């Protein structure tokens, strides 16, 4: 198995962020069907600032996936 098969891509993590933390930390952000890595990084920053510890962990995963996609 390669690393891409194991790690979720940033789009999947972006959608998970809105599903799990939309009302808590992302209430003022617009959801995009096809987000760019930059869009996902903005969401990750908001999760770090507004979210709890679980949200911060998801933010780290989003950041790692975005950097891997570049």
Residue 1 in any domain: the answer is no
* pTM of structure: 0.86
Q: Tell me: the pLDDT tens digits for 9-52?
A: 999 999 999 999 999 999 999 999 999 999 999 999 999 999 99
Residue 46 included in any domain: yes
Task: Report yes or no: 17 and 9 within 8 Å, Cβ to Cβ.
Answer: no
pLDDT at 5 over 90: no
Give residue 9's pLDDT. 93
Residue 33's domain comprises 6-69
As a whole number, mean pLDDT of residues 44-66 equals 96
Per the document, the length of the chain is 70
**Which residue is associated with the tokens 């809105």?**
18
Number of domains in the chain: 1
């Amino acid at each position: 198995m390669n690393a891409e098969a194991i790690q979720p891509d940033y789009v999947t993590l972006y959608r998970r962020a809105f599903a799990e933390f939309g009302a808590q930390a992302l209430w003022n952000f617009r959801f995009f069907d096809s987000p760019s890595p930059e869009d996902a990084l903005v969401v990750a920053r908001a999760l770090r600032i507004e979210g709890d510890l679980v949200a911060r962990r998801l933010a780290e995963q989003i950041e790692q996936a975005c950097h891997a996609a570049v």
